[in-house]
Amino acid sequence: MSKKVLIVTGDGGDGYEALYAYHRFLEARWEPVVAAPSRRPLHLVFFDAEPGWETYVERPGPRLDADVVIAAVSAHEFGALLIPGGRAPEYLRNDPDVLELVRDFSTQSKCICAIGHGIQVLAAAELIKGRTVTCHANVRIEVERSGGIFSSQPAIRDGSLVTAQSWRAHPEFYREVFGFLK
């Protein structure tokens, strides 16, 4: 199996989730490759709770260079796929190249990981019907409308799918990810 992981994100992607994934895979001696709609520095953001707010707040975060354009990569080159959350999945789920790529990973029974809003891409690719997954609470309805089974666990693995609610579940999530990839 290839020890390359494809991290698919874009502008508005969650900075904690994307950067931690990049470094965690490096630490495990995997080669992370960042893919986005275009090859350029991406504008990541941080999401956090703010007292008195009924929803999360968004703050500018770091930049992360996209190594490749999504349309130019093949699932055959990688051992795993990771889709961080944030706002990027909102528009990535409408990109036919993204959906085809995610489905190719699934057809090849490769590890497919999503954190938080990243589940929106898996739902759009029709990969979660009948599968137990978790995600950010605000997108739970998309899981259920797509025929997925929502779990309130911080992170969960169902076959080759590994999902987490948010960056707060990184410890549980990466135990599941690397347990699968061994």
Q: Report how far residue 21's alpha carbon sits from residue 166's, in angstroms, rounded to the nearest whole number.
A: 12
Count helices and strands in the chain by DSSP H and E runs: 6, 11
Q: What pLDDT does 4 receive?
A: 98
Percent of the chain at pLDDT exceeding 90: 95
Number of domains in the chain: 1
Q: What pLDDT does 41 receive?
A: 98
- For residue 127, pLDDT over 90 is answered with yes
Q: What is the mean pLDDT of residues 148-174?
A: 98
First CA to last CA distance, the chain: 10
- For residue 21, pLDDT over 90 is answered with yes
Q: Which is nearest to 93 in space by CA: 12, 20, 175? A: 12
User: Cα separations (Å) of 176 from 163, 180, 182?
Assistant: 9, 6, 10
pTM (2 d.p.): 0.97
Q: What pLDDT does 46 receive?
A: 95
Q: Which range marks the domain in which residue 171 is found?
A: 4-181
CATH number of the domain residue 75 falls in: 3.40.50.880
Q: At what angle do helices 170-181 and 15-27 cross, to 10 degrees?
A: 40
- For residue 35, pLDDT over 90 is answered with yes
